[in-house]
Amino acid sequence: MKILVTGANGFVGQALCKYHSKTSMDQVVAAVRRRGQVPGDITQKIVGDISGHTSWHEALDGVDAVAHLAGRAHVMRDTSADPLSAYQAVNTEGTLNLASQAAEAGVKRLVFLSSIKVCGEGQSRVSDDAYTERQSCSPSDPYAVSKHEAELGLREIARTTGLEVTILRPPLVYGPGVGANFLRLMQAVNRGWPLPFGGIDNRRDLIFLGNLVNAITLCTKHPAAANKTFLLADGEGLSTPALIRRIGAALNRPARLITVPPDWLHFAAGLAGKRMAIERLLGSLMVDSRAIRRDLAWQPPYSIEEGLAATADWFRQQQTKE
């Protein structure tokens, strides 16, 4: 089987290429904007910037399945004059252009890495229902809107062509190479900083990078994945204090948690212009991943402890390089 991986130099793309390079018999082609490092002897195809005008014909030659991971990532401080258009150009128009050319090239399946943010920003209480594939979507920022529009367009392409489409909506992905808020949280725990989240009662689902790679690989070939949408998670939602304690255990560092009323944290975050960042630490985001477990008999191959241990090993290696 020949698989085209877009975004092969990215966080998820590098891990997927590394997995295939080490353990898979499939032939993988890495589509990248510019030449970079990919594992093993994987062939690279330079496609340039992704938009509604990108030519994919050479990269799609002889391809059976596409794992479409490339996209404009969620930007915390977006300086674009028109953020929605900037996201749509890559995540919507770029995705649908690829899918149309894939259908013309006779590709059997395209797996699209979307986001749980298509469903919404989470739940206000732990007792609220988890997100499922069946409920209405409620994207609330330009990134999520662009992903949702891509999903709608992909379903239409699947309906009118022979291309099978599988849509995956993961929550926050952690693992070796992680950045953003998760990395900052690891740095704080490693430095022994007191963190004011001891009294937070929430639950957030995550997915380890190795589990996501496993699910993507399965969805490129499983017959029952055709034209389905799946939500993914490790399967053990954690409160923010529990996650911090698990990170501390993985790093062999004490988790220094203090209790500060959530209203105070909200107030302080508002003054600092970090309201959305604090919401991700205080609020709940629960994901029902039973559909992919039922339909594809998928089970995450790694536990949260194993995922955090691998992430901690990578983190320590980075610290020794600095």
87 has catalytic annotation: no
Q: Which tokens belong to 235?
A: 């399967």
Q: Which of 231, 123, 229, 243 is nearest to 170 (CA)?
A: 231
Q: Which of 202, 199, 303 is nearest to 246 (CA)?
A: 303
Q: Which of 151, 67, 64 is nearest to 111 (CA)?
A: 67
DSSP 35: -
DSSP 53: T
Among candidate residues 19, 131, 143, 174, the one labeled active-site is 143
- Percent helix / strand / coil, the chain, rounded to 5: 40, 15, 40
Per this entry, what is the length of the chain? 322
Residue with tokens 């797996």: 111
Q: Which of 148, 47, 50 is nearest to 90 (CA)?
A: 50
Distance CA 79, CA 13 (A): 26
Q: Which of 187, 188, 181 is nearest to 318 (CA)?
A: 187
Angle at Cα 237 formed by Cα 183 and Cα 306, nearest 5°?
Answer: 60
Angle at Cα 233 formed by Cα 68 and Cα 275, nearest 5°?
Answer: 90
Residues with active-site annotation: 143
